[in-house]
Structures are given as structure tokens and as C-alpha cells.
Homo-oligomer: A and B are copies of this chain.
Amino acid sequence: MPTIAARRSVAFNDAQIDMTHGAGGKASRRLVEGLIVPAFMADAIGEPLTDAARLDVGSAQLAITTDSFVVHPLRFPGGSIGDLAVNGTVNDLAVAGAVPLALVCSLIVEAGTATDILRAEVEAMARASRAAGVAIIGGDTKVVEHGKADSLYITTTGIGRMHPRALLSAARVREGDRILVSGNVGDHGITVILARGDIDLAADLRSDTRAIHPLTAALIDGLGPDLRWMRDPTRGGVATSLNELARDAGLAIVVDEEAVPVRDEVRGACELLGLDPLHIANEGQFLAVVASESADRALAILKQIEGGEAAAIVGRVEATPARTVLAGTSYGSTRVVDMLVGDPLPRIC
């Protein structure tokens, strides 16, 4: 969930909403920055969009994040909408530097949905909540007529307490900083695409949905101010998150394309589908920017934690070309990596 903050003037002149506006890429950003943010914060000049809003209550420094989950199909190898609804919100708190404390959830159910389908997702949420150690403490349920939803949509809101050692902001990113990724890229998006059955392609893949706060907390604990920025590259993938960072920091990100961990199955599916693995959604990974001198230590911290074994240093921050993401290979070729444009992967989370 992006925090709402007004930035430079963005025009939103599209006459109607289409699927690209929900894809997490350029069109989504125009909608949010051109229509929603100006209404909610007409006069504010705030922080760049981040994954959780900050709220101080007395001495408690809180973070709050909300997300709606509309993934189709509801279930796919490795997870389901219930898992995503818990893990996705826990992860938005985690990458904002917060310790997740509790969740609330709201269900929109389509009339005619089998109770067993609903029960399976409520139980998936409960299991994911227990696995993450973050309780679901309240909720709401609405029902709409058959044909006015797609079985089940879930909105979860998470509240967390800011980690006292977390000092995360695109403004703290510096030339020379290193980019880390916590593990293999693209598993979730390709798994969901294949689960739809529209593409005649089989691959032994599972969604990476999981709660990442043990990994992010270890980095915050270990690095303190040398940890500059984190983001979970969901809709729009690694490419979109790094473009947002490049834009917000006014710097260049240079990705070592060969260092990015991508499973062969994901790479193969992407080649067949004409997609870039860097644009594919992830649900259990995060990107981190760390000070150059702490990069090896950050990698060691991640690798020693369960689920961090495939972590890698995948790039560095340069001064120019500002606001740009480049990907290079050892052969010397370099390409510009843009934000996601269009929506090759609708309703991925």
C-alpha cells in the first residue's frame, strides 16, 4: 500500500479505468498521483510513496498499511488468496521498517460462492496469521449479488510499530550503495499465470508467498543506518520497484542482470510469454539498498536465515543517468529497464 503524499503534478486524463490502472506500473502511478493523492492531500508536499503510512500516537510510532487482494484464481500452487492477504500486508509493514503487530480483514463475498471455498480461505488466513505470528483481531464481511464479484475479495490492514533502528527512505540512498534481493524472482507471478490454464505450459513452480519480517528485522538489527531502503516487489516486479527508487532518490540503479536469481522455469516461461522476469510479481521477496561497506554483511545475515539462502547482491546505485534503471551483463551490453507498462499479468495479487 502506498502512503499518500502529494508530489509533482501528474495529469490523469484517461476517461475510464482499465486493467492497466491496477497493474502496479506506470498507469497505476498516474491514477494514484494524478487523481487520488491530489484529492486526499490537496496541499501537502510529503514523502515519496511508501508501503506503509506513519502515525505517532503518544510515544508509539506506528505504521499502517492496507491492501485489497483480488487474485485470480483463488488458489494456485504454493498458496491462495488467504495466504496473500496475510503475508502481503505483513510484508508491507516489514519493508517499511515496522514490526507487525496485528491485522484486521474485510471480506467481500459473491453470493453463490460455496461455503467450502470461503472456509478454505478463512482457514488459510488463520494459518498464515499463526505462521507469521501476527494475529487477526477484527474484521467485516459483505455479500454482493452473484456476478458482482469473483467469489471472494479480501482487504487486510496491518498495524505495526516502527523498529527503533530503522531509518529507511529513498532520500538516504547514496551513490555506491548496493542493491540486494532476498531470493528468486518471479515465482509468484508465473505460478498464477500458469494456474489460470490459459497458456499451454507446465512448470514445477510454486508461489513464493510468505511473511518476510524475520528477514527484514534481521537486516534492520544488523545494519541499522547502513540499511537505506526496502521494498517488496509485488505488482510490477523488481523493475517497477527499482524505477520508483531511482525516481524518488534522483539516482541511477544499475542491475547486474546475471546476478539476479531467477529459476530456470521462470526464465523459460518468461521467454515463451515475451515477459521480463524483472516485471513479474513476487509475494515473498524484498529488495534492500545497503551501504557499500555493509553489503557483504547484509548478504551473510540473509543467507543464514531460513528463506534467505538464495539472497544475492544484484546491483549498485550510480549518480547518472539519474532516475533510470539500467541492466547490464558481463558481455558489456546494457539496457534500460522501464516500469511495467500495460498489464500482462492482471489480478496477480
Residue ranges of A at the interface with B (Cβ–Cβ < 8 Å): 1-4, 12, 14-23, 28, 31-32, 35-36, 39-40, 42, 52-55, 57-60, 62, 64-70, 101-102, 104-115, 118-119, 122-123, 125-126, 129, 135-145, 147-150, 153, 155, 157, 159, 161, 346-347
Contacts and interface: CB of A to CB of B under 8 A. Distances in A.
A68 B140 contact: yes
Count chain B CB atoms within 10 A of each CB in A18, A55, A57, A161 and give the residue with the most.
A57
A138 B68 contact: no
Contacts of A67: 106, 140
A150 B39 CA distance: 22
B22 A142 contact: yes
Contacts of A66: 104-106, 138-140, 155, 157
A28 B137 contact: no
B112 A22 contact: no
Contacts of A62: 57, 60, 62, 159
A282 B347 CA distance: 34
Nearest to A122: B39
22 contacts: A1-B138, A2-B139, A3-B137, A16-B112, A16-B113, A17-B113, A19-B143, A21-B143, A22-B111, A22-B142, A40-B125, A40-B126, A55-B101, A59-B60, A62-B159, A66-B155, A66-B157, A68-B107, A108-B153, A142-B153, A155-B155, A159-B159
Count chain B CB atoms within 10 A of each CB in A119, A123, A141, A153 and give the residue with the most.
A141
B122 A157 contact: no
Nearest to A161: B57
B106 A2 contact: no
A149 B114 CA distance: 18
A346 B123 CA distance: 27
Given A17-B115, A60-B58, A32 B65 contact: no
A105 B140 CA distance: 14
A21 B140 CA distance: 12
Given A40-B136, A109-B22, A347 B144 contact: yes
A74 to B, nearest CB: 13
A65 B104 contact: yes
B4 A138 contact: yes
Given A60-B60, A66-B106, 13 more contacts: A1-B138, A16-B115, A17-B115, A32-B139, A36-B122, A53-B137, A64-B104, A65-B104, A66-B155, A67-B140, A68-B142, A70-B144, A149-B149
